[in-house]
């Protein structure tokens, strides 16, 4: 904490349309403490599909 650098937002790829779905999380040390098998229910802003994702599917923005 305390640095001014921009943190990378984490996304998953929508299981329906492969669009980027924001996880609401950022690439911080706290992410490493999330259990790998915890399920995150997220809704795609592009197609409205709600699905569950795990940390293994998180990635930073690719564009
Ligand atoms: Zn979608």
Asked, for residue 1, whether it belongs to a domain, the answer is no
Asked, for residue 4, whether it belongs to a domain, the answer is no
Asked, for residue 21, whether it belongs to a domain, the answer is yes
Ligand 1 center to 51 CA (angstroms): 10
Q: Angle CA(36)–CA(61)–CA(2) in degrees, nearest 5?
A: 75
Comparing 16 with 62, which gets the higher pLDDT?
A: 16
Ligand 1 center to 15 CA (angstroms): 7
The number of distinct structural domains making up the chain is 1
Per-residue pLDDT at 7: 85
In terms of C-beta density within 10 A (0-12 exposed, 13-18 middle, 19 or more buried), how is residue 9 classed? middle
Residue 63: pLDDT band with limits 50, 70, 90: low
| Domain around 37 | 9-60
Asked, for residue 2, whether it belongs to a domain, the answer is no
Asked, for residue 3, whether it belongs to a domain, the answer is no
Residue 5: pLDDT band with limits 50, 70, 90: low
pTM of the model: 0.83
Q: What is the pLDDT of residues 15-39, one digit of tens each?
A: 999 999 999 999 999 999 999 999 9
Residue 60: pLDDT band with limits 50, 70, 90: very high
33 phi/psi in degrees, rounded to 5: -95, -5
């Amino acid at each position: 904490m305390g640095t001014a650098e921009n943190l990378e937002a984490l996304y998953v790829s929508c299981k329906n349309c492969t669009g980027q779905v924001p996880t609401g999380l950022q690439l911080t040390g706290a992410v490493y403490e999330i259990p790998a098998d915890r399920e995150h229910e997220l809704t795609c802003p592009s197609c409205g599909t709600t699905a569950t994702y795990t940390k293994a599917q998180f990635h930073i923005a690719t564009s």
